[in-house]
Structure 1
Amino acid sequence: MIDFLIIGGGIAGLSAGARLSRHGTVTVLEAEDALGYHASGRSAALFEQSYGPPSVVALNKAGAEYMRLENGGYLTQRGLMLVAAMDQADAFQNDRASLNMQSMSMDQAVSRVPILNPEAVGYVAISEAAFDIDTDRLLQDFARTIRHNGGTVLSKRKVTRICKGPHWTVEAGQVFEARNLVNAAGAWVDEIASMAGIAPIGISPRRRSMARLPAPGGHDVSNWPMMLGAGETWYAKPDAGKLLVSPSEADPVPPHDAYADDMILAEGIARYEALVTEPVTRVETNWAGLRSFAPDGTLVLGPDPTEPSFIWCAGQGGYGFQTAPAASQLLADLVTGKAPAIDKDMISMLTPNRLNR
């Protein structure tokens, strides 16, 4: 009998499994061929403590030490630059305040990112407290912890049937029996809940498209900060000598293996292109991922109020990696009855009890 059967092998399921593996036997079921295939494999991979609603910021801060120090640390300095057009003063000021950024002169901005167009950019701010996350190593280290503690991580195990009797019975290529079922299925969490006879939480999968561009103008982009358009209307991030550009859309879609919308992607690239001196002449490749949001836009962590053996690890939105260390610890604390380190008011914003279903 498995103590914790976890459905979903992305960052949510693997981090939860690593924490819970200290308290019982864990098996993780991933439907795809590889771990982190969907949202986790298509992340912007940025850690910025101030990014997100208050409950997310609380998780970011609680997990910052883990990100910096555990297993040698997972963070590399990147920086985040807010870039606004002449007519975006209000959006710029709102974003600058919420992200605790410092305004900078145009000369300073161009010295950091030489393709910025002084004739088009009206406002710039910077935060140095933004870091790249080594997402692959974080995923693999959580999986390694599960295995080290006697657990199992299985791929190609799509769940087809769930029954609740004295314990949970789950069919996924074979039959698994478990005392507790952890729903970390990303965009599919409501489908898993319905299969298990649990009321859905109203999850909304939202597409975000991405394009990989050659380094603009042949520049070495490795030390450039990530750039964020005011109002989060686009972003651009250096990646392995290239530049990733996204329109930052959040269009509701059914759960599926997402692909980029060419029109939306072109609009986002145009917003980026309007503020730089180097035109986009070629897109090397593009893709999309699904970020899944609960109705109030923050994570859903802990036992379902109607069936405590059904445990939610859902609604990570665009915050899955940066919240993973603290979110997984909070989930384990809530399941095992340990007093969480996070403020109780923040906890009330994260547990399933807050949702009206």
Structure 2
Amino acid sequence: MTDFDIIIIGGGMAGASLGAEVAPHARVLILEMEDVAGYHATGRSVSFWEESYGGPQVQPLTSASGPLLTTPDPDFADTGFLTPRGALHIGRAEDRAVRDDFIRAFSGSGVRFEALEGIDVARRIPGLRSAWTLGLAEPSTADIDVAALHAAYLRRFARHGGTMWNAARLIAARHDTQGWHVETTAGSCRCATLVDAAGAWADDVARLCGVAPLGIAPLQRTVVQLRVDANVPADMPVVMDLNGSFYFKPIGGRCLWLSPHDEEPSPPCDAAPEELAVAIAIDRLEQVVDWPIVAVERKWAGLRSFAPDRRPVYGRDSAQPHFFWFAGQGGFGIQTAPAAALIGAALLLDHAPAAAVSTIDAEAYSPRRFHALPLVSAANAG
């Protein structure tokens, strides 16, 4: 039986980033149930970094991650992971209060917005239908190279002596005076601390370890790749509905990625798109722009997992301090990965937080907060 200091369950962006930060200081194993890490949520991202995404409670993590993604340490990557794009939140005349509330929610955060009206909105989106007269530009938004970021974390993890077992599904784990005894489909191992970075499977992993689940719920998000008969600038901003019913992003070659911004409750699984969600997405796009649709080239779905209050969960379990939660990162887990990993590593290793995250209140993301809250569905929270 192989011994480790820390075993991380899950090799997606969460597990890979945390593993890369703790591997220089401990013997670490990542258990990944798939043949290839990043198969689920990490591999299905629409790939943009947006400071306001996830709301004011998540924004400090995203903002702190921005410089780390733009100018990473030379020993981590040779180049940055962000490419400027910008975002444009749009609405109709009756959405003015929604826009005002959106701006107010981020007051004092440092996130920069520019309110737009009429022709200034239409100028940025060719073929925009006349009803869409309100805009809110968020210029800091950027494309993020998810695959390169995930690969960089895995390389750093391996370079610092980290071990990874692919196709290693957790069967059971029990804790006694000698630590955790972990059984997987790839063999047995032991460790002092077990980390749950299993995304949609986070609560299932907790149950297998004899730890009470937190109510982390997977919600399905659908994405469609369309080819249209219109001259859509490849560098056009990500376009989002102020009311959260769609977003789309050009990817070049008259193609775009489109989502109906759906959040359908789902069991943990290899998510597949529903035809109804695809049809809804297309219908919503056609209400926004006059771009004739030539073909649906691809469609896919991913699971975004939320805690009941829609904040991520970083920290030791209240009842079992040798079990560490690093989950509930919703659709913002990739764009917050650098800051989240630094916070998680500091908590896990009992180190002082890195300078980049030293002003972030990690207690806001602690699992301890759930002992004072009633359990509600993530689909109905926030």
Shorter-normalised TM range:
over 0.9
1:106 CA drift (Å): 3.5
Q: Which moved more, 1:263-272 or 1:338-347?
A: 338-347
1:183 CA drift (Å): 0.5
Aligned equivalent of 1:188: 201
Aligned equivalents of 1:137, 1:345: Cα separation in 2: 26
Q: 2:181 pairs with 161, 169, 172, which one? A: 169
Aligned equivalent of 1:93: 100
Does the CA contact (< 8 Å) of 1:205 and 1:293 recur in 2?
yes
Aligned equivalent of 2:54: 52
Aligned equivalent of 2:109: none
Equivalence map 1:105-254=2 (5 Å): 105-117=117-129, 119-165=130-176, 166-172=178-184, 173-214=186-227, 216-241=228-253, 242-254=255-267
Map Cα deviations across residues 211-245 of structure 1 (whole Å, 9 max, x no partner): 0001x324253211100012111000123532001
Map Cα deviations across residues 139-158 of structure 1 (whole Å, 9 max, x no partner): 00100011000112222111
Shift of the 278–32 alpha-carbon distance from structure 1 to 2, 3 Å rule, reads same
The sequence identity of aligned pairs, in percent, is: 35
Aligned equivalents of 1:58, 1:205: Cα separation in 2: 23
Aligned equivalent of 1:354: 369
Q: Which moved more, 1:314-323 or 1:153-162?
A: 153-162
Shift of the 240–114 alpha-carbon distance from structure 1 to 2, 3 Å rule, reads closer
Matched, 1:5 2:7: yes
| Unmatched tracts of structure 2, length 5 or more | 107-111, 376-382
Map Cα deviations across residues 25-61 of structure 1 (whole Å, 9 max, x no partner): 1111111121111111111221122322333111112
Matched, 1:285 2:292: no
Does the CA contact (< 8 Å) of 1:96 and 1:102 recur in 2?
no
Does the CA contact (< 8 Å) of 1:120 and 1:274 recur in 2?
no
1:96 CA drift (Å): 4.7
Does the CA contact (< 8 Å) of 2:56 and 2:105 recur in 1?
no
Does the CA contact (< 8 Å) of 1:30 and 1:156 recur in 2?
yes
Q: 2:328 pairs with 298, 301, 315, which one? A: 315
Number of residue-to-residue matches in the alignment = 355
Aligned equivalents of 1:50, 1:276: Cα separation in 2: 24
Q: 2:349 pairs with 314, 336, 357, which one? A: 336
Aligned equivalents of 1:134, 1:153: Cα separation in 2: 23
Q: Which moved more, 1:292-301 or 1:47-56?
A: 47-56
Aligned equivalents of 1:90, 1:252: Cα separation in 2: 29
Does the CA contact (< 8 Å) of 2:86 and 2:140 recur in 1?
yes
Aligned equivalents of 1:353, 1:69: Cα separation in 2: 34
Map Cα deviations across residues 107-138 of structure 1 (whole Å, 9 max, x no partner): 33333321212x22121221211011111111
Does the CA contact (< 8 Å) of 1:32 and 1:157 recur in 2?
yes
TM-score (ref. length: structure 2): 0.88
| Unmatched tracts of structure 1, length 5 or more | none
Q: Which moved more, 1:131-140 or 1:218-227?
A: 218-227
Q: 2:80 pairs with 49, 73, 84, which one? A: 73
* Paired residue secondary structure (2:52): coil
